[in-house]
Every structure is written in C-alpha cells, then in structure tokens.
A and B are shown apart, each in its own frame.
Chain A
Amino acid sequence: MRAPAALAGALAGLAVVTAASLLFGGRVTPAADLLAVLTGAPDPYLEAVLESRFSRTVLGVLVGSALAVAGVLIQAVTRNPLGDPGLLGVTVGASAAVVTAAAVTGSGFGAGSVWIALPGALLTVLLVHVVGGRSRENGTVGLLLAGAVVSAVLSAYVQAMTLTRPGVFDSFRFWVIGALGGRDLSVAAAIAPALVIGLGLALVLSPSLNNLALGDDVATGLGTPVALVRATGILAAALLGAAATATAGPISFVGLAVPHLARALAGPDHRWQVPLAALLGGILLVAADVLGRVVARPGEVMVGIVTALLGAPFLLLAVRRGWATR
C-alpha cells in the first residue's frame, strides 16, 4: 500500500521540481512575469529563457530516470548494492567512444552521439564484467575495482585525445562534467528510442528480478532463465546509461543512490521499484540542476558536479554501514 502512495508522492514531487526548474535560474526573473508569458503575453526574451529552461528540465527528467533505472537494474542483476552505471564504467566507455568520434569527424557532441556512445558503453560493461565478475561470493568489490581500473585506462585515453586536440577539449570541457544546459529537445528525440527500449526491458524484467533476488538456485527453480535475465538486464542498463551519458555527459551517483531510496520507499518489489526509481531519478537530477543554478548566481554549477558532491557522501555512508563489503 505504501508503494502506490510513494508513487503518487513522487509524481507530486516531480511537478514541484519542474515548476522550480522553470521559475529559478541563473538570472532572477519574477515568477509573475513568467506566468504571464506562459498564458500568452508576448515577451521574446522571457520566451527564450523559458524555452531553454523547459529543454533542460525535460532532458533532466529523462537523464535522471535513465540513470536511476540503470542503477536498479545493475544492483538487481549483480546483487550488488553499489551498482551504478558510472562506477561500472558505462559512462567512461560512452565518453571514450564519443570523444573518438568527435576527434575523427571534427564535430561537436551532437544529438547523434548516442548511437556512438552506446556501443562504447556496451563494450566497456562487458569488459568490466569479464575482468571483475569472476568470483560469486565477493563480486561486489571485484566489479567495483574492475570498473575503477577500466575507467582509469579509458580516462587516460580520453585525456590523451582531448589534451592533444584543442577543438575537442573546448567542447569536451563542459560535456565531461555532466551538464544539462545548452542542449535542445532534438537530443531528447535522438535518445528516445534507447530510453523506450531500456525502460521497457526494465519493466518486463522486473518480476524476474524479484526472483533473482532470492538467489540463482531459487530463481532457476521458479523458472527464471537466470543467464538470460542477467544479460538482458545488463544490456538495458548499458542502453540507459549510454543514452543518459550521450545527452548530459557523465553524471555519477544518481544511479547509485536512487535505487536505495526507491527500495526504502516502495519495498523490495521491483515492479514498483522501477517506475518509482524513474520518477525519483528525474526529481533528483532536476533538483540538483536547479540547485546548481541557484547557488552560483549569476553563474551556474554544472549538475554533474552537484550530484558528485552530494552523492560521494552517500557512497561513504554505504561503506561505513558495511553495505559495500558484506
């Protein structure tokens, strides 16, 4: 009963942060003026402001949802409470692929980059899995470390590419931190297929994920094709992570923290966790974006920095509580 209530609450929360995201920004604009524009009063400047805030709000919701659901999938499939697309190398794999494409073609980081980021992310996830997923009982740390290693090597590559090519560096400097500003809605259209497929797979898988939580043997006994569910879950998570990374750059810790929040609010049932995490992820990322815009007026702190600075303590808390090393 608390899961539907949580879902309803999350919907209300999403409405609140959406309104906040439209109303607050680097420059202070009176809410009354913005509301007047919304209801039809002509003002080209405020219309442009609203339009850019609207785009980043929509992208924030999509990216946050994608990362959060990817986190739920990874945590369920690896039975690892610290699963996060960033920590497992999805984002740096996507970055490496996108930087390569940008260096080869000489173009920036446009809407089409999701289809370049995707194979990069998938390959990296596979690699991390092969390197770190060997032992069953202590898979948590193995996967995390493998993610850290693969990330280290790939970020060396990314650094090498950007530092030797000033043009790539210039556009990459902002992309690499993770930001929602300066992108328009064509990006949302480009990533939509990946999002739809990834979210759809997550919803379809959620009953099997419940079985998986009982252990491989029990899940197999219940008729769950364990290997297939694992592979599909990782694929969906990589799709979502890659779509999010291609849109906003690497954003860490949303995929780590939101699943825990969703579990606390909705209980262990993944059929509720997945949609709730999608909403909470959107809320969290948009809220972080608004916070980044408000605290540094008239400039802004990019959302990737806000989530990392808020999310790292969460990981440290997880270590302190012993979730990480059980």
Chain B
Amino acid sequence: MIVRLKHTVALPLHRGSVLYCWVTALAVLAAGVATLCLGRLGIPLADLPSALLGGAEGKTAFVLERLRGPRLATAVLTGALLGLSGALFQGVTRNPLGSPDVIGLGAGAGAGVAVTSLHATGVPTPVGAVLGAAVAALLVHLCTGTGFRSPTRTIVAGIGVSAAAYALTQYVVSVRLRDAAAQLAAYLAGSLNAASARDVAVAGVALAVTLPLAMTLPVSMRLLEMGDETAAGLGVDPDRVRTAAIVLSVVAAGAAVAAAGPIAFVALTAPQIARRTIGSAQAGVLPAAFTGALIMVLADLAAQQVPAFDGLPVGVLTLGVGGCYLGHLLLDQHRKGRL
C-alpha cells in the first residue's frame, strides 16, 4: 500500500484517466464544432478556422461572438465546474448520492441569485450564488448532526434544504412582473440561451481558481477512503481535507449557477460516468471535469438542434436525463444494500 502511495503521490494521473481525458476532450471539441456549424445560422465548416483566428465578419462574427460562441464557452466551463464540484463532493462523502444536486447546492445558489437580483442589487449575482450554495451546504451540515458522514441523513436534509431554497426562489419569481418572471424562470431552469461574455468570465475565473486547487486534493481524498484513522496515520488531516474539498465544491457549483443557472444532475452524473468508464477509483477530478464539459456541450447542442427540444433551457434536458440516471443509481445502491 505504501509503495503505491509513493507512486500516486509522485504521479497522481492514472494511465486510464489520461486516455479518458484525451478522448473526452476530443469529443468536446467535435461537439463544439458541431455547435458552431450546424443549423440555419451555423458558420460554414470551411470558414471556421479563419473566423476563430479573428477573420470573422458580418453574420459570422455575430454568430461567433454573440450567439453561439459565449454559449459554447459557458457550456464547456460550467460543465467542467459542475464535474469538478461533483467529483470533490462525492469523493469526500464516499457516496455518489452525496452530490451537490442532492444536498441542494444548486437550489441554494439559485435562491442566492434570485434574492440578490431582487433585494440586494448591490451584491454581484456570482457572489450571491456562492453564498447561497454555502448556506445550503452549511444548513445540511448542521442539520444532519453528523456532518456529511451519514449519506442517508445528508440526502434527507438536502431534500429539506432544497425545498426551502426553492420556495424562496419561487417567492421572488411570484412577486416579479411577468416578463421578468418568465426570464428568471428560464434562468432558474438552467439556461444558456442568453449566455454572455460576463458568464464566460465568471465561469472561466472560477475554473482557473478551483481546478488547480482541486487537483491537489485527490490523493488525500483517496487516503480518506481507507478510514480517518489510517489517513491520519499517513499524515493527512481528515477534517481539513474534507473542509477544503467541500469549500471548493461549493465555490465551483456556485460559479456554475451564477453563469448558467442551476443545471441539474451534471455534478451527480459526470464523476460517475468517468469513474465507471475508467473502471478505477483512481478517476480523479480532471476526468470528471472533462465529462461534465462534454455533457453540457452535448445537452446544449441538443437544445439547439433537436426540433423537439427547440428553445428549451439546457437544464431541463439534464434534469430529465439525469433524473433517470439518478433512478438507476438508486436501484443499484439499493441492490448493493448501501442505502
């Protein structure tokens, strides 16, 4: 065990993970090109390289800089943030169901955005989102009485916190005028329709801050899986690692919500998909981030190009598909007797 430990400390990247990251990155690239090129307003594939290098004019420039470019960038960045957030949270709670969605980080961040946009207009909405997510996490932590150690308590407390956050959000929606409410409702469903350069900046900065920090954690988190005593014996402070992971997870989830609204279930599914495909518990933060980005880009591509989903916020798609996946996961955990 100690030999492998030295190995992982020296090189925290597993070979399967590296391959997986390359494949998902290529898939994100392909889906990104499709996002920019498909459809009536799409940029012709032949024009894309020159347009990306700054030679865009007229309609092409408008599509690239205003319509689909920010949208694509926001999708990639928020997807990565959500994947990262989920990987950290699931790693610490040692349970796929102890994920940001289930404990109400998204709902809390949404409420934070709704409250800051109505009652505290001086506070920037990204700050409101992170604060909302933090309050949600804190409430769940306090109400379980055991921290995040008991998965079942965490989940049930999360349901309660989500419900309260949702009610607060609905209060804001209901007192707003109709147009503002419809806009806010679309936003609160998690939408990239109006993604702007500001959203790209928020998500980009958040990812640039959280990803490098998160990359330093997986080794210690893996040691935690052996139990707190063993980890402490190997020189890891369990509580500090747990707190660091949760704080990073909250910041990442909050920033994603600030940029794109509460996108459901990407944080839950991305780490699971990465982990199961790589077939190893060594799947760390990076594969989850790439998977999250891929899920978001694909969901957004579907929202733009599949007629049946025309005009739907991307969060509705991830909610529907991710909900089914959560059901599958639930049955699986049930069968294994982990619930």
Docked pose: A308 CA to B164 CA in angstroms: 6
Which residues 291-326 of A have a CB within 8 angstroms of B? 299, 301-302, 304-305, 308-309, 311-313, 315-320, 322, 324-325
Q: Which of B32-40, B112-120, B154-162 contacts A (4 or more CB under 8 A)?
A: B154-162
Docked pose: A169 CA to B174 CA in angstroms: 12
Does B224 reach chain A (CB closer than 8 Å)? no
Q: Are A320 and B155 in contact (CB under 8 A)?
A: no
Chain B's interface: helix, strand, loop or mixed, by majority? helix
Interface size on B, residues (CB 8 A): 52
Interface contacts (Cβ under 8 Å), in number, total 148
Contact for B322 among A146, A152, A312, CB less than 8 A: A152
Contact for A304 among B143, B167, B178, B330, CB less than 8 A: B167
Contact code string B145-171 (vs A, CB < 8 Å = 1, else 0): 100001011011101110110111011
Q: Are B316 and A163 in contact (CB under 8 A)?
A: yes
Chain A's interface: helix, strand, loop or mixed, by majority? helix
Contact code string B302-315 (vs A, CB < 8 Å = 1, else 0): 00000001111100
B185: which A residues are within 8 A, CB to CB?
A: 162-163, 169, 173
Q: Are B330 and A319 in contact (CB under 8 A)?
A: no
Does B4 reach chain A (CB closer than 8 Å)? no
Q: Are A305 and B174 in contact (CB under 8 A)?
A: yes
Closest Cβ–Cβ distance, residue B241 to chain A (whole Å): 25
Residue of A nearest to B178 (CB): A170
Contact for B157 among A135, A142, A319, CB less than 8 A: A319
Does A134 reach chain B (CB closer than 8 Å)? yes
Does A32 reach chain B (CB closer than 8 Å)? no
Q: Are A305 and B170 in contact (CB under 8 A)?
A: yes
Q: Are A135 and B334 in contact (CB under 8 A)?
A: yes
Does B175 reach chain A (CB closer than 8 Å)? yes
Closest Cβ–Cβ distance, residue B254 to chain A (whole Å): 20
Q: Are A149 and B323 in contact (CB under 8 A)?
A: yes
Q: Are B152 and A141 in contact (CB under 8 A)?
A: yes
B309: which A residues are within 8 A, CB to CB?
A: 160
Closest Cβ–Cβ distance, residue B218 to chain A (whole Å): 27
Docked pose: A29 CA to B309 CA in angstroms: 50
Q: Are B330 and A152 in contact (CB under 8 A)?
A: no
Interface size, A (range): 35 or more
Q: Are B164 and A309 in contact (CB under 8 A)?
A: yes
Closest Cβ–Cβ distance, residue B1 to chain A (whole Å): 33
Contact for B160 among A135, A156, A319, A322, CB less than 8 A: A319
CB within 8 Å for A156 and B323 given contacts A146-B330, A312-B163, A319-B160: yes
Q: Are B152 and A131 in contact (CB under 8 A)?
A: no
Does A174 reach chain B (CB closer than 8 Å)? yes
B178: which A residues are within 8 A, CB to CB?
A: 170, 173
Docked pose: A304 CA to B170 CA in angstroms: 10
Does B182 reach chain A (CB closer than 8 Å)? yes
Interface on A for B, CB 8 Å cutoff?
Answer: 82, 87, 131-132, 134-135, 138, 141-142, 144-146, 148-150, 152-153, 155-157, 159-160, 162-164, 166, 169-170, 173-174, 176-177, 252-253, 299, 301-302, 304-305, 308-309, 311-313, 315-320, 322, 324-325
Interface pairs (18), CB distance under 8 Å: A131-B330, A135-B337, A135-B339, A141-B152, A144-B155, A152-B265, A152-B323, A153-B327, A157-B320, A164-B310, A164-B312, A173-B185, A252-B163, A305-B170, A308-B164, A309-B168, A316-B160, A325-B152
CB-CB nearest 3 A-B residue pairs: A308-B167, A312-B164, A315-B160
